[in-house]
Structure 1
Amino acid sequence: MAAMIFTVVVAALGFFQIAAAAGAPVGAYCWGGQHPGKLPTRLRVGSAVSLVIYAAFVLVVLSRADIIGLIPEPVATVGTWVIFGYCVLGVLMNGISRSPRERLVMTPVVLVMAVLVLIVALRG
């Protein structure tokens, strides 16, 4: 169940990143909030690249949870711990963001992701 909820949360973030990459005025909620409207091109590219990272996260977590079998078990096991570390770092970085909107929205979202991936990492 944790892996499926993680997938839904990451999918929602993916839609957000698609919007950011497409030029939606969501800059106050991402990338430090330094560009409150439309992101500059380099950050829009970063949002697009994040989609690939999110897809890899989902594949690893779903493999670790034995929902799909695309990633070998040892790789999925290590990968979930790497993703957990990434999420913990994300909680810290979003928590110290200069953007109040990013702190308010993204910090709890990434915290939920961290808890969910920790559950998957511990239980498999």
Structure 2
Amino acid sequence: MVAFQVSLMFGAPFGAAALGGANPGQLPVELRVVSGVSAAIWTFATMIVLVRGGYAISRLPRGLSRWGTWVLVGYLAIGVLMNLASFSPGERFGWAPFTLALFILTLVLALGGFAWVLAMTSAASH
């Protein structure tokens, strides 16, 4: 996600698969700025998820990682809906499934990780 946004920021011709697909080819300068901000947000989201998953690669407080993971779950849920509603085939058939996978994995992490999933499936089988 970060690499895609950075490539858009630097002028890669992927505009048809981004921001509603209304700008095929390179994005206009103002939307390249949006892609740069998006890359920064996704980088921060990555740090939040890594800390929540137990990989303390940064000094983010655990409370921020718990809260931030839930914010990211909501953000990704909205992203899935927006990608599905897009007129851009790249967003509907490429980004929507990708964002759905990120949503599911982030939800599992927010609920307590895969240990939570194993506990739930173990409880359900008894």
Shorter-chain TM-score: which interval? 0.7 to 0.9
CA distance in 1, matches of 2:29, 2:97: 27
Determine which structure has greater relative contact order: mean sequence separation of CA pairs < 8 Å that are 6+ residues apart, divided by chain length.
Answer: 1
Out of 42, 49, 53, the residue aligned to residue 37 of structure 2 is 49
Segments of 4+ moved more than 3 angstroms = none
Tell me the residue number matched to 1:105: 94
What SS does the aligned partner of 2:8 have? Answer: helix
1:10-50 residue CA offsets vs partner (Å, 9 max, x unmatched): xxx11111111111110110000000111111111111111
1:1-124 to 2 correspondence within 5 Å? 13-68=1-56, 70-124=59-113
- Give, as a single letter, the amino acid of the residue that structure 2 aligns with 1:89: I
Listed as ranges, the gaps of 5+ residues in structure 2 are: 114-126
Report sequence identity in percent.
Answer: 42
Listed as ranges, the gaps of 5+ residues in structure 1 are: 1-12
Aligned residue pairs: how many?
112
Which stretch of structure 1 is more off in the superposition, 96-105 or 69-78?
69-78
With the length of structure 1 as denominator, give the TM-score of the two structures.
0.85
Q: Which structure has the bigger radius of gyration?
A: 2
CA RMSD across the alignment:
1.1
Which stretch of structure 1 is more off in the superposition, 64-73 or 44-53?
64-73
